[in-house]
Amino acid sequence: MAARLMWITWPAFLAACVLEMLVFALVDPSDLAWSGQALNWSRQAVYTSAFFAFWAVSLGACWLTTVLRMTPQEVNDACPYAPDQRPEGCPGR
């Protein structure tokens, strides 16, 4: 489970870093506006919130890739019950 979590978080972190560099190489945080009004955040607040937004989107994409990569055997072997308490039809009964 820890390895799978790293499969998701590490590539998402790297993707968020690259997106942060690309976006803010072209966009000045002090020029940003929301609903026609200037966004009165510090540069650091904009960089931080944008990084976490990029990371969240990248986490979603990496999670979806990991889920879609699972084999039918991996999906069907998952049963949350102890072996002696598994209901009929639960794998490993």
CA dihedral of 45, 58, 28, 24, whole degrees rounded to 10: 120
Query: Cβ(74)–Cβ(91) under 8 Å?
Result: no
pTM of the predicted protein model: 0.73
What is the C-alpha to C-alpha distance for residues 49 and 69, in angstroms, rounded to an integer? 30
pLDDT tens, 50-75? 999 999 999 999 999 988 988 877 77
The H or E element that residue 55 is part of is helix 43-69
pLDDT tens, 34-54? 898 888 899 899 999 999 999
